Structure formats: structure tokens, C-alpha cells
Amino acid sequence: MKNLAKYIFAACAIMLSINHSQAQGVTTENGVGVNNINMQQAASRLNVDMIFDISDLKVRSNRSLKITPVVSNGSEMIQLPSVIVEGRRRNMMYRRSEIPSSDFHIRRHNHKEQIFEYDYDIAFESWMNNSELILREEWCECHNEPISEEFIAIAELSQPQQTQPAANTAGATTPATVGKPKMAYALSPSKDELAATQNISGIHFRVNSSTIEPSFMNNAQAIAAMHEMLAAHSNDINAIHLMGYASPEGPYNFNKELAAKRAEAIKNHIATQMPALAGKIATDSAPTNWEALKKMLNDSYISNYLKIIAIIDDNTIKPADKNNEIRRQYPVEYQFMLDSWYPKLRVTDITIDSPTQKKSVEQIKQAIRTNPSDLSLDDIYLVALTYEKGSKEWNEIMIIAVQTYPQSPEARVNAANVAMANGDYTQAANYLQGLPADMPEAMNSRGILAMSQGDYTKAMTLFQQAEKAGVSEASYNITLLKELMSLAK
């Protein structure tokens, strides 16, 4: 079971050893019994139900205990409606307010037995496989300000076992007599023009630090890639651009200085290693990369993400105040971002401008097996196009592409297609997770994944969206799915 305390409030999470989506029962720090816990996928929905026993809970008249179920896989999360157990006065204030609420409000009658049956379902998304159900408990009093909180993991949703597809089929539920769906591969838009700018994975820093640590995060690989790139193009590099960032939570002026120091640290490192390039290095910095944080929010399932983006985009809020405003209005989501996403924002990004030499297909084929990191995605896909789609060689090159460029949406959707063709739908879901919702090829791949899970309605919607976006393979898949749906009647 993943240790979610690594991501959310490490100091106050209590981890339990639960192997299935069902658990017998637990008792929280505040004495709330949680029994008959069940989290399971049913078709296109995720159902969460449990029984809260608050018989041993004593609530003061002006206080409330807010219990919030959270589904998370460590990098994505969604918050379900809360159960708010209120004292007499707090419950009276809530009823008089007549403010609509999706939460469940319960008046606590101290010294009496009380239970509440919680049953809620949400749309199932692929990232929820291997996710955990976590309860967040917080005591609140005046103005709903939390005065204490605890986290407890209570259940885990394991990836369901996929039925092995019939030979030569791509969907676990597609009969061989119907045929197999067509994969839509995303290749780079330009095959003849190679980019003059090359981005290298950024080098990350510990909080409040501008010291380069090769052992921190993925710095060893990033530093090695930077050295290799600089050495390979040392004679034709036009410029090296370094952009330093801090994460938003510190004092604004301190973050400005820290971000600049981080860019300067990389500049000094390069100048020391390769003095001839020192005059070609330009540095810039910003207190935080709000655009990167907005992308993380847009690609996630975090609750209230649109409202958080609205705060970031609100020009009436001073840049120095935006972080505190997010923390004040959305404390659960803020703490999740602080633990999971903010470390990725403490970085210096590196861009190298150099004219690239066009390689022959034979040169690329030789390099692709030995040192693919020297190749662009255009290079790799140029070789792929010399083989038949779906062939062993094609599939191998698609995997090399995603291993070399793991953050590339094109590489990931292509690798998802290869995984589904091999019957590995779990791996396919992992590749597709976080890809842009409007990426046409990803729509088609998600449709094939939904079809393999028996969710024909979702599959049809995705195929129709992909077809509208110009994916010819989706048109065939719609016809295939209609035939499959008729057989299922």
C-alpha cells in the first residue's frame, strides 16, 4: 500500500495495512468508528460507502467535526462531500443560514448512540486505479476555521484484473469476430525541420536552497543530460538560457532572490565545467512559475482546481498574496499541492539554442539503439515510419521514444497504444493519465481503453470527439463499437 503520508501531511497520517477495497473497520483519533468500508468501481462509476459510528464522540455546542473522504493516488486527488457532525448551536446556525450544501450535516446528541450511513458515487477515471480512500478529520469552531486535523487511510482500490483479450484483439471485451479497434498514433508535426532549441530536464533544489545536489530528485540524470548536450554541441551553441524559479509558499521578495540564485548556481556550474561557454549563458528568474502550476491543476482531478486557477489569474490580487489566498480558501487542496507539486516548482529550466545537423535515417537507426538521448522525437519517429505500424520494430521504437521523452504527450499516447495492443491495459492507463483532454489521439486511445472495460457509452463519446477532431481511426472504431453494442443486446 502506497504511503500517502509522503504526499499529504506526513506528520499526522496514520497508515493501515489494507490490501483490498473493503475493510472491516477503523477508529479515528477522535473516536469515530468507521465500519463496513467499501470502495469499488462499478462500470463507469466509483462507489464509496461506509458507516460512521459517532456514539463515542462528544461535540461542544459551538464546534463541529468535519470528516472528509478523499480519493488519491499520490499525484491526483478528488474530495467527496463531507460529513459534518455539529454541536447544538453550530447545527442551529447552519439550519438558519439556508445556504445550499453538498455536505451531510448531522446534529450530535452527546451521550446517545448515533450512526450515519455514507453512500456516494462519482465518475470513475483511470487514475483512480490503485488509489486510496483517506479520511480527513478537522475540528472547527467560529467562522469554520480549522483548529486541528488528522488524516487516516482506510481503504485501497486495487487495479481490477483485466480479462485477457482474444488473440489479435485490442479490447478485453471485444469478441474476435467483431475485429479490433484502430490505434491513432501521434507523430511529431514536422519531419523535415529539426528544432533549433532543445530543452533539458530542469535541475531541482531543496526548499529554501540554491545548492546543486546531484542526488536530489532526478538531478543526476538532468545534469548528465546537460553535460552531454553541451559537449555534443559545444562548437555551435548560440545561447544557453537559464530560468530560475521558487515555489510560491515563501515570502515574495525572498523567493525573487532565491530564484535568481538558483539560475546563477547553474550558470556558475556550466562556466566552471566548460569555460568557453560562459559568455553565452543568459539568466532570468521569477518568484514562481504560475503557468506550470496552472498546467498541473488543469491536468489533475484536484477539487476546486478551476477556482484555484481563478485566484492565480486574478489581477486584483497581488502576486505576493496569491499563495496565501489559495491556502486560506482551499486548505485541503493547498496542502496537497504543497507536498506533491511545489517541490517540482523549485527548479532552474535549461534551454540550449543550437543549429542541429540533419541526420540520415541510417545514422539515426544506429544511434537509436545505443544513445537515443542524442536524438529528437522527430529523429526517432522518422525511423519508426520506415516500419509497418504495429510491427515488432514499430512497437520497440515507440517504447524507446517514451523512455527517452517520458513527459512528451505524443510519446505517451503512442506507448499507451502499444501497451493496449499487448493486452496491458493497466500500463496503458498509466501512460494516458494526465494527457490533455482535448488531444485527439488520446481521445481515441481512451475510447479503446473504455471499450476494453465494458464502458461502451464513454467509449462512444470519446470516439465521436476524436472523429470530430479529425482522427480517421475513430470513425472505424465507432462502427466497430456499434456492432459490439448490438451483439451485447
- pLDDT (tens digit per residue) in 35-78: 888 888 876 778 888 999 999 999 998 889 999 999 887 777 88
First to last CA, the chain: 39
Q: Which of 126, 135, 145, 121 is nearest to 8 (CA)?
A: 135
Q: Provide the pLDDT for residue 28.
A: 87
The DSSP bridge partners found for residue 77 are 72
How far, in Å, CA of 158 to CA of 73, rounded?
Answer: 11
How far, in Å, CA of 171 to CA of 463, rounded?
Answer: 14
- 3-class SS string, the chain: CCCHHHCCCHHHEECCCCCCCEEEEEECCCCCEEEEEEEEEECCEEEEEEEEECCCCCCCCCCEEEEEEEEECCCCEEECCCEEEECHHHHHHHHHHCCCCCCEEEECCCCCCCEEEEEEEEECCHHHCCEEEEEEEEEECHHHCEEEEEEEEEEEECCCCCCCCCCCCCCCCCCCCCCCCCCCCCCCCCCCCCCCEEEEEEEECCCCCCCCCCCCCCHHHHHHHHHHHHHHCCCCCCEEEEEEECCCCCCHHHHHHHHHHHHHHHHHHHHHHCHHHHHHEEEEEECCCHHHHHHHHHCCCCCCHHHHHHHHHCCCCCHHHHHHHHHHHCHHHHHHHHHHCHHHHCEEEEEEECCCCCCCHHHHHHHHHHCHHHCCHHHHHHHHCCCCCCCHHHHHHHHHHHHHCCCCHHHHHHHHHHHHHCCCHHHHHHHHCCCCCCCHHHHHHHHHHHHHCCCHHHHHHHHHHHHHCCCHHHHHHHHHHHHHHHHHC
Burial tier of 21 (Cβ tally within 10 Å: 0-12, 13-18, 19+):
buried
Q: Provide the pLDDT for residue 204.
A: 95
pTM above threshold 0.95: no
Q: Provide the pLDDT for residue 311.
A: 93
How far, in Å, CA of 119 to CA of 30, rounded?
Answer: 22
How far, in Å, CA of 273 to CA of 465, rounded?
Answer: 51
Q: Provide the pLDDT for residue 298.
A: 79
Q: Provide the pLDDT for residue 312.
A: 92
CB neighbour list of residue 450: distance below 8 Å, 6 or more residues apart: 44, 456, 458, 459, 462
The DSSP bridge partners found for residue 132 are 72, 156
CB neighbour list of residue 143: distance below 8 Å, 6 or more residues apart: none
Residues in the chain where the model's pLDDT stays below 50: 1-21, 160-171, 175-177, 189-196
Domains of the chain in start order, with CATH, are: 4-157 (2.60.40), 197-353 (3.30.1330.60), 361-488 (1.25.40.10)
Q: Which of 184, 170, 125 is nearest to 410 (CA)?
A: 184
Q: Provide the pLDDT for residue 130.
A: 80
How far, in Å, CA of 239 to CA of 1, rounded?
Answer: 47
Q: Provide the pLDDT for residue 158.
A: 60
Alpha carbon separation from 169 to 76, 396, 423, 447, 463 (Å, rounded) = 31, 19, 8, 15, 18
Alpha carbon separation from 124 to 36, 190, 361, 419 (Å, rounded) = 21, 36, 44, 21
How far, in Å, CA of 82 to CA of 101, rounded?
Answer: 10
